Structure 1
Amino acid sequence: MKNLMYALALVLTAIVTNNVKAQEVKLKSDKIIVDDKPTFDYDKDGFEFHIYKLNTKDEIVYIQHSNNSTISYLEDDYKKIIFPNNNVNIESALFRARSFKYIVTLLLTEKVLDLEGNIDAEKLQKFATKYNENITARTVRLN
């Protein structure tokens, strides 16, 4: 009985370990490549990054780096992640120094975005709860 339980635990560990695999994400020639397969198109223009379904202009995610109108002061910079089809905006200073590639990888890892370009609304809400800091709503501007 003890050997059976040990063998079962070993098999379950092997199954879980094989299913949990980090995805390799590359940005190359306006394509987001996941595990050596073109998966999404993207467009980067300075501090703006657009993710599209493959071979379309159907925008899935828009990411913007904001300097919070303080060009020389970097401590208040943040990233804004917009999901236009879901009407969800996330503003987070946690991603301030992170690359666009990092954010794409995080969206895939947390299963907010799947490899076909679909957004999981429930996982998106969890992601927003976890990372959204509502920076513009709590920023006071003095003239």
Structure 2
Amino acid sequence: MTTKKLISLFLLITSFNFYFSQDVVIKDDKVLLDGKQILKAEKINSGQYSFYTMKDDEEILMYKFMDNETPRYMDDDFYILNFLTEKTKIESTDFSKIANIFNSKKGMEKLVKWLLKERVINNEGELNSDRVQIFKEKYDQNITERTFR
């Protein structure tokens, strides 16, 4: 292939990625998907967020960062996703899906994108019970039950 064809193919693939990606922004305690509000967000502190439905203002998800009581040792840090209405808790040390060191709001935007991609939350901000269970099976590391205190 020639260089022009390779560049054209790369630009075509990149444009599809931008075209099909969803824009998630948290602004003024509103979670906006492509400009439309789908959830309400509340920042409790830099390590804890809550998300509420638009329909009845019910808290459906709480994100919480845990340093495992070792603030200077970061290898045992994890986060909890508590799907409150589903009574499902997910604990994980894999921060790659939501990591944003200097801006917790950007991390929560990445979290919502991840949940949309996994179809845990639909475009209306509603939880899918079946997908929550699949999400748990895929990502839960069950850290507190494996930790000695």
TM-score by length of 2: 0.76
Separation in 2 of the partners of 1:48 and 1:81?
Answer: 10
Question: How much has 1:57 moved relative to structure 2?
Answer: 3.0
Q: Does 2:31 align with 1:32?
A: yes
Greater helix proportion: 2
Separation in 1 of the partners of 2:143 and 2:22?
Answer: 30
Q: Which residue of 2 aligns with 1:116?
A: 124
CA RMSD of aligned residues (A): 2.0
Report runs of 4+ in structure 1 exceeding 3 Å deviation.
Answer: none
Structure 2 gaps, min length 5: 1-15, 100-106
Percent identical residues = 31
Structure 1 gaps, min length 5: 1-16
Separation in 2 of the partners of 1:55 and 1:127?
Answer: 24
Q: Which residue of 1 aligns with 2:111?
A: 103
Q: Which residue of 1 aligns with 2:11?
A: none
1:21-100 equivalences in 2 (<5 Å): 21-46=20-45, 47-54=47-54, 56-95=56-95, 98=99, 99-100=107-108
TM-score by length of 1: 0.79
Larger mean Cα displacement after TM superposition, 116-125 or 42-51:
116-125
SS of the aligned residue for 1:85 comes to helix
Q: Does 2:139 align with 1:131?
A: yes
SS of the aligned residue for 1:64 comes to strand
SS of the aligned residue for 1:42 comes to strand
Higher Cα Rg, which structure:
1
Larger mean Cα displacement after TM superposition, 99-108 or 26-35:
99-108
